[in-house]
Amino acid sequence: MVTGDSSLPPKKAIVNPKAIIHQRFGDKAHYNIEEIQESVSNGCPGLAISQKGPCLYRCCLQLPEFSVVSEIFKRKKDAMQSAAQKAVEKLSDPPVEDPSDQLVARLSYLFSNEFYSTCHPLSGHFRAALHREGCINGFVPVSLMTIYDSKVANLCKSIKPDIESKPLEVMLMIMDAATRLSDTVFASKELLSLRRTSPYPPEVLQSVEVSCKQETYVKVIRVPCLTEKIIEPLTLDVSSNNYYMDAIARELGAADASKVLLSRCIGKASSETRLYFHAPKSFQLDVMSEREVKDHQAYLNARASYLSGQDIYGDAILATIGYMWKSCDLFHEDVSSRTYYRLLMNKVPTGIYKLSREAVLAAELPEKFGARSSWRGMLPRDILCTFCRQHRLPEPAFSSTTDGGTKDRRPSEETFKCEVKIFSKHQDLIIHCHTGESFKKQSDAIQNASLKVLSCFNNYLMKLNMSQEKWTNGNGLGLDFYPEHISKELQFFSLVHKSWPGIKANTKRLLAVNGTNQSNSELADTICSYNIDGQDSENFPSNGCLVCICYSVCLVKEGDRELIEKNDEFEFELGSEAVTPDLEAVVAQMGVGQSANFRVELPPQELIFAANGDPTRTLSLLSSGGCSLEFSTTLLLVTEPLEDRMEKALFSPSLSKQRVQYAVQHIRESCATFLVDFGCGSGSLLDSLLDYPTSLERIVGVDISYKALPRAAKTLHSKLSQNSTSPVQGSGIKSALLLEGSITTFDSRVYGCDIGTCLEVIEHMEEDEATLFGHVVLSSFCPKILIVSTPNYEYNVILQKSTPEEDTEDKNQTKPCKFRNFDHKFEWTREQFRMWASELAEKHNYSVKFSGVGGVEGVEPGFASQIAVFRRVWDLTKDGNSSDLPYKVVWDWSSDNV
């Protein structure tokens, strides 16, 4: 896409084109403006941050008789004028010359002496063909004409618009045109080539002989038709006396270059990477019998067709080679199996993301888009555009709407929503994403909607065998998906990525932690061994943290190992599923400076080949069986989410410490012995409580995150074991239990505690879930006292004003997100919190008082963390003997066992 000045509408026009159209058609002229994103692709490998192009516009002008589409512009106005200009031109066009005549004229030029010496992607073939022995007339494959001469291609298209997708018909059309040049060009339908009837003049032929002989070899890949056969690297001799198309023909078992067909470019549009394949034996499809057609279909090459988006039959050769505009020399680059697998990956959303991060084995397309500042790799919108381009789908259509200054919002709280539509080549709707989620920034709305669409495609591709109904109904709110409109090629996915679907489904839970006495059988499944080394540090990551790790991945078998992938600095946001589940689970348990080693089952081979390593070594290791993949990683740095940084920087003692102290005070006053921490996360409250002398004997932590709990187990274990040998401040803890489960579900082990804490948890749930938790906890768990804290939304103005160091480089991009933490589903005002808590208290016969930490009672805008303390005003009658035990024990410690 070019927005050259040349395409700007003429400024000097006295009457502007739009005015002319208006005069003539009035309101029968409809202008539709479409927003498109020019994504500046990562030209620079290794530069992880892809650059976002400016927002561009294209305009479609519909008139009663016809419609025109403008070029692409930075301003809507220009796009409209350009469309109008095109319409004006079309209205006043002189009757055009017959395209068939033009095609004949073009062919005649191509075979002229003049054309021979130009620098043109096609003229190189004319010259190379003359190197063939005894071939002074030169013969050039017809298949090349449309590929390398866009004039020929366009003329064919204007003769028969749908011909583009039928390469054989195009060739017949060119042959027919050439027969009209019978005195200069000889067309042979059997040979599928065109040649001059008379030899080139001697001076031309001499210039050919002069060119020196140079030995040149180029690596290519054979993609066998049978998907069971593995792709095979080959070396072609393309020395200057050897026409490369002939060399390819030999590999394909074809008689000569003329029997070889070419695909369009694969991967980047500007590349010269193409698939070469044998023309069907019986070339004239129109005379092929039904039987022959059927036989032919059986040779459909799924991998090649998938890669190129067009039907390819028989074995194919993937090569980067050809003549270019800028030089008369042959351009070529080696194609390795790595290139092949990367091209494949580039067709799946998660693959595009992995490549953009140069982390094929470690990275995964995240499931959440928090803030632009913590997103790494290509942005969702750019991935979506790339995906559509890869599958030759029209650019995604984004439409965003704002909703500012409604009755209960101040104008400054303008929000944005974004809808995305993806259409098929034939303009059928494939996906319509209209979740209605609103965002403070337009770009966040667009990125989030894009990510939803990408996840949908990803899930669909990974589970192609799933029934269609499941897809149309089961996609949750605001996402309509019509897989029946997905192209045939995309449906080759399961054939091509044979072993890919399992990758995400195999999420395994890592529970064994060094130093805890938990034996764990589940660990065995994918992770063979698992080890964290190094001094434990105070600084460990929690969800929402930006972590920086270095890692390497090796293929290992007994003593043998081969390095496959390595990153010295790799940043990702914990909790957003930006890396493979195993890696994320391990990192969640590490402290800064610690290293870990673990082995996992082999991922799909194509990922290993796309990553790298020495392909022959890798192949021999893999084919010998019994390999596994070993990750070694070190946690280098943890950047806490803005919320935590603010809580530490702006409050003294830190806000979390103040919450702990608040809980300790209630424990002491009530002489509580049994405490349950609802949503304990990685155990910071339980851990800190152990530093104070209290009456507590039994503590239980419950959380839904299987990643955070092992971390809690680890810290509590070391502290409790240490306490029992040299009792710190008389800690009387007799038992400690960590349970995995949702606090909205009842479990009898948590019934009837003296004190329940639920600090900064409810805002991480949807509002209805938070209310459900309230009902469950007060009616079923029945704690004597329940302490619930949550951020006070009204306090955010203060936090935002005094935000310490926020990244200055991209000021507009990184304004703090809507809430204090991207994982927050809501943040309530004092009034909202009061309503929530009072209704619950009344319903379940509890009393409730409000307070908080950070801030001063009664002073606007209230506390930073607002707290509700519920007290049961009735006695427990039923005992907790029922045996509802939905939670899973993650760690169970008892002082008796130490």
Residues 292-321 that bind Mg ion (CB under 5 A): none
CB-nearer residue toward ligand SAH: 784 or 824: 824
Q: Which one of Mg ion, ligand SAH, none is in contact with 511 (Cβ closer than 5 to 8 A by kind)?
A: none
Site string for ligand SAH, 527-566 (x = CB under 6 A): ----------------------------------------
Report the alpha-carbon angle 508-512-516, nearest 5: 160
Site string for ligand SAH, 702-741 (x = CB under 6 A): xxxx--x---------------------------------
Given candidates 9, 309, 483, 681, which one binds ligand SAH under the rule CB under 6 A?
681
Q: Which one of ligand SAH, Mg ion, none is in contact with 685 (Cβ closer than 5 to 8 A by kind)?
A: ligand SAH
| Only segment of 94-102, 203-211, 752-760, 846-854 that touches Mg ion (CB under 5 A) | 752-760
Report how far residue 130's alpha carbon sits from residue 204's, in angstroms, rounded to the nearest whole number: 10
CB-nearer residue toward Mg ion: 194 or 762: 762
Report the alpha-carbon angle 821-708-657, nearest 5: 60
CB-nearer residue toward Mg ion: 59 or 867: 867
CB burial readout 528-567, b (16+ within 10 A) else e: eebebeeebeeebbbbbbbbbbebbbbbbeeeeebebbbb
Site string for Mg ion, 819-858 (x = CB under 5 A): --x-------------------------------------
Report how far residue 242's alpha carbon sits from residue 208's, in angstroms, rounded to the nearest whole number: 13
CB-nearer residue toward ligand SAH: 272 or 644: 644
Question: Hunting for tokens 């991009």 — which residue is that?
Answer: 813
Report how far residue 843's alpha carbon sits from residue 759's, in angstroms, rounded to the nearest whole number: 22
DSSP 824: -
Strand pairing category for 397-403 and 330-333: unpaired
| Only segment of 113-121, 368-376, 525-533, 700-708 that touches ligand SAH (CB under 6 A) | 700-708
Instruction: Please report how close the Cβ of residue 852 comes to ligand SAH at its closest, in angstroms.
Output: 14
Q: Which one of Mg ion, ligand SAH, none is in contact with 708 (Cβ closer than 5 to 8 A by kind)?
A: ligand SAH
- Percent of residues in the chain assigned helix, strand, coil, to nearest 5: 35, 25, 40
Report how far residue 709's alpha carbon sits from residue 628's, in angstroms, rounded to the nearest whole number: 27
Instruction: Please report how close the Cβ of residue 772 comes to ligand SAH at its closest, in angstroms.
Output: 9
Instruction: Please report how close the Cβ of residue 55 comes to ligand SAH at its closest, in angstroms.
Output: 36
CB-nearer residue toward ligand SAH: 684 or 731: 684
Given candidates 138, 349, 679, 816, which one binds ligand SAH under the rule CB under 6 A?
679
CB-nearer residue toward ligand SAH: 41 or 742: 742
Strand pairing category for 888-894 and 735-740: antiparallel
CB-nearer residue toward Mg ion: 573 or 760: 760
Report how far residue 503's alpha carbon sits from residue 432's, in angstroms, rounded to the nearest whole number: 27
Q: Which one of Mg ion, ligand SAH, none is in contact with 491 (Cβ closer than 5 to 8 A by kind)?
A: none
Report how far residue 638's alpha carbon sits from residue 338's, in angstroms, rounded to the nearest whole number: 33
| Only segment of 560-568, 647-655, 698-706, 778-786 that touches ligand SAH (CB under 6 A) | 698-706
Task: Count residues binding Mg ion (CB under 5 A).
Answer: 2
Task: List, in order, residues 6 or more apart from 118 with CB less than 8 Å away.
Answer: none
Instruction: Please report how close the Cβ of residue 640 comes to Mg ion at its closest, in angstroms.
Output: 12
Residues 753-792 that bind ligand SAH (CB under 6 A): 759-761, 764-765
Task: List, in order, residues 6 or more apart from 231 with CB less than 8 Å away.
Answer: 221, 222, 223, 224, 303, 337, 340
Instruction: Please report how close the Cβ of residue 702 comes to ligand SAH at its closest, in angstroms.
Output: 6
Question: Hunting for tokens 């003229």 — which residue is that?
Answer: 123
| 323, 331 Cβ separation under 8 angstroms | yes
CB-nearer residue toward ligand SAH: 632 or 742: 742
Q: Which one of ligand SAH, Mg ion, none is in contact with 81 (Cβ closer than 5 to 8 A by kind)?
A: none
Site string for Mg ion, 759-778 (x = CB under 5 A): -x------------------
Task: Count residues binding ligand SAH (CB under 6 A).
Answer: 18
User: At 38, which helix (H) or strand (E)?
Assistant: strand 30-40
CB-nearer residue toward ligand SAH: 352 or 680: 680
Under rule CB under 6 A, residue 685 binds ligand SAH: yes
| Gyration radius from the chain CA atoms | 34
Could you tell me the two tokens for 792? Answer: 């006070």
Report how far residue 342's alpha carbon sits from residue 317's, in angstroms, rounded to the nearest whole number: 16
| Only segment of 124-132, 555-563, 662-670, 699-707 that touches ligand SAH (CB under 6 A) | 699-707
Question: Hunting for tokens 């704002």 — which residue is that?
Answer: 402
Residues constituting the chain: 898
Instruction: Please report how close the Cβ of residue 462 comes to ligand SAH at its closest, in angstroms.
Output: 25
Given candidates 532, 680, 817, 869, which one binds ligand SAH under the rule CB under 6 A?
680
Report how far residue 595's alpha carbon sits from residue 554's, in angstroms, rounded to the nearest whole number: 16
| 225, 315 Cβ separation under 8 angstroms | yes
| Nearest residue to Mg ion on Cβ basis | 760
The SS3 call for residue 493 is: helix
Q: Which one of ligand SAH, Mg ion, none is in contact with 704 (Cβ closer than 5 to 8 A by kind)?
A: ligand SAH
User: At 388, which helix (H) or strand (E)?
Assistant: helix 380-390
Listed residue (27, 46, 199, 174) closest to 108, CA to CA: 174
CB-nearer residue toward ligand SAH: 685 or 841: 685
Report the alpha-carbon angle 801-806-810, nearest 5: 120
The SS3 call for residue 612 is: coil
Could you tell me the two tokens for 49? Answer: 């941050």
Q: Which residues sit at the interface with ligand SAH, rule CB under 6 A? A: 679-681, 684-685, 702-705, 708, 742-744, 759-761, 764-765
Q: Which residues sit at the interface with Mg ion, rule CB under 5 A? A: 760, 821
